[in-house]
Amino acid sequence: MPDFATGITGWLKNSFIDFPGTVSTVLFFSGCNLRCPYCHNPQIVTNAFLPQIPLQEILDFFQHRKGLINGVVLSGGEPAMHETAQSIAAHARSMEYTVKLDTNGLLPEKIKE
């Protein structure tokens, strides 16, 4: 994986509500292929200039929190628009984390992967 977190512009390190029944960490990806008036994260959908979180920081967190959290949520924006989401999901699964994808479902070919 590259040494940067392409598109990850928000991070909730610990959540008890985003993945029911799971203590999780939530990564928010910028950008979206829709402009829903009820979007809960409009600031990350349209702002291309938000700072991105380094990938190594996220991977280190996964390593250090093993046993304390058991899930990773990929949210947004639309995470399926980013190659990094697929890489992070695969890495998280290899560490035996469960992965939840919050998506609008408009990119089924990306979601399948």
Place of tokens 């994986």: 1
Q: Which residue has the higher pLDDT, 105 or 2?
A: 105
Residue 92 in any domain: the answer is yes
Residue 43 in any domain: the answer is yes
Share of the chain above pLDDT 70, in %: 94
Residue 111 in any domain: the answer is no
Q: How many C-alpha atoms does 47 have within 13 Å on its Cβ side?
A: 13
Phi/psi at 46 (nearest 5 deg)?
-110, -10
Tell me how many domains the chain contains. 1
Tokens of 2: 């590259």
Per-residue confidence at 2, pLDDT binned at 50, 70, 90? low
Residue span of the structural domain in which 96 resides: 8-51+66-102
Residue 37 in any domain: the answer is yes
Per-residue confidence at 113, pLDDT binned at 50, 70, 90? low
14-59 confidence digits (pLDDT tens):
999 999 999 999 999 999 999 999 988 889 888 778 899 999 999 9
pLDDT of residue 96: 98
Q: What is the largest CA-CA distance in the chain?
A: 38
Share of the chain above pLDDT 90, in %: 73
- Gap between the Cα atoms of 39 and 75, Å rounded: 12
Residue 57 in any domain: the answer is no
- Gap between the Cα atoms of 73 and 102, Å rounded: 7
Residue 59 in any domain: the answer is no
Residue 110 in any domain: the answer is no
pTM of the model: 0.91
Residue 2 in any domain: the answer is no
